């Protein structure tokens, strides 16, 4: 099957951002937020689009700058920049209520999106939120503590360190700006709001985002309805058929909660 060609949107002076949009009549729409170094054509994003197609819903997915088919250098990216791009795309290209699905870093971006929409008085646009292995505050909480001191010193003094290739692909830079901005956009340490019902899917065999990290998040979501599903043998990707079925079920349950059923 031929994959659909991406469309592009651009703000003056900013990189062009690639997106894929499916039209649909049944609300709410589905809005995908991918993870760190992932793209909008990954298996979970494709599955979400297939769910939207089967149910007659709209689905919007895009690549952050420096990711996938979007322009920009990955090394120039920060959490705040990617969250601002998510907000701009959400407001410009979606209509009506949306269920936001954020994977890994996308879970952090989803919660920053919720905060931004609340500040704009637009929380009603959020019909629900599914957070898959949500890597909230991962720069400060998960990556920085695991780096050797000599690497942290290189980042502080030289501004960046090139991480070698890993199981997810080629090497990539970790920049001082990424960590400083991540700390500035940190959510832990206070109440976290989704401003809508939230469902967390978390693998207990996740080596990148420990399941206790997700438990800490749900404890912080005290003001909003939230559930967590722990998948005992699930890894960070959560892209096996049974994991994707759990994602579809979470969307179904959020839709039922929205209808009051």
User: pLDDT tens digits, residue range 46-99?
Assistant: 999 999 999 999 999 999 999 999 999 999 999 999 999 999 999 999 999 999
pLDDT of residue 59: 98
Sheet of strand 7-9, all strands in order from the earlier edge strand to the far edge:
7-9, 17-22, 59-62, 29-33, 98-103, 126-132, 198-203, 226-231
If we measure between CA atoms, which residue out of 151, 154, 109, 149 comes closest to residue 132? 109
For the chain, residues with pLDDT lower than 50 are none
DSSP-derived letter for residue 131 is E
DSSP-derived letter for residue 4 is P
1 occurs within a structural domain: no
Torsion angle, alpha carbons of 44, 49, 50, 53, to 10: 170
Burial of 165 by CB count in 10 Å (0-12 exposed, 13-18 middle, 19+ buried)?
A: exposed
134 occurs within a structural domain: yes
pLDDT of residue 231: 98
**How far apart are alpha carbons 113 and 51 in whole angstroms?**
23
Q: How many domains does the chain have?
A: 1
Parallel/antiparallel/unpaired status of strands 172-175 and 160-163:
antiparallel
pLDDT of residue 119: 98
Contact at 8 Å (CB) between 174 and 182?
Answer: no
Beta strands in the chain (DSSP E): 7-9, 17-22, 29-33, 59-62, 98-103, 126-132, 160-163, 172-175, 198-203, 226-231
**How far apart are alpha carbons 187 and 80 in whole angstroms?**
12
* pTM for the predicted model, two decimal places: 0.96
DSSP-derived letter for residue 222 is T
Domain that holds residue 174: 7-256
CATH of the domain at 124: 3.40.50.1820
261 occurs within a structural domain: no
Contact at 8 Å (CB) between 175 and 75?
Answer: yes
**How far apart are alpha carbons 153 and 12 in whole angstroms?**
36
**How far apart are alpha carbons 259 and 194 in whole angstroms?**
18
142 occurs within a structural domain: yes
pLDDT of residue 5: 86
2 occurs within a structural domain: no
Parallel/antiparallel/unpaired status of strands 98-103 and 59-62:
unpaired
**How far apart are alpha carbons 260 and 254 in whole angstroms?**
10
């Amino acid at each position: 099957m031929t994959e659909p060609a991406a469309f592009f949107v651009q703000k003056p002076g900013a990189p062009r951002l690639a997106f894929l949009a499916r039209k649909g009549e049944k609300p709410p729409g589905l809005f995908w937020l991918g993870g760190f170094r992932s793209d909008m054509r990954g298996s979970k994003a494709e599955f979400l689009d297939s769910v939207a197609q089967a149910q007659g819903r709209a689905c919007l997915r895009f690549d952050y700058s420096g990711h996938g088919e979007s322009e920009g250098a990955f090394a120039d990216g920060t959490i705040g920049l990617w969250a601002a791009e998510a907000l701009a795309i959400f407001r410009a290209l979606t209509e009506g209520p949306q269920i936001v699905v954020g994977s890994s870093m996308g879970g952090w971006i989803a919660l920053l999106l919720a905060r931004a929409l609340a500040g704009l008085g637009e929380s009603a646009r959020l019909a629900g939120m599914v957070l898959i292995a949500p890597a909230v505050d991962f720069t400060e909480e998960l990556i920085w503590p695991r780096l050797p001191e000599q690497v942290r010193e290189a980042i502080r003094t030289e501004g960046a360190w090139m991480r070698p290739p890993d199981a997810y692909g080629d090497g990539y830079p970790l920049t001082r700006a990424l960590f400083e901005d991540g700390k500035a956009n940190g959510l832990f340490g206070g109440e976290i709001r989704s401003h809508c019902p939230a469902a967390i899917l978390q693998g207990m065999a996740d080596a990148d985002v420990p399941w206790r990290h997700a438990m800490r998040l749900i404890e912080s979501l005290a003001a909003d309805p939230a559930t967590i599903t722990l998948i005992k043998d699930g890894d960070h990707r959560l892209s096996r058929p049974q994991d994707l079925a759990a994602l579809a079920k979470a969307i179904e349950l959020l839709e039922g909660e929205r209808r009051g059923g």
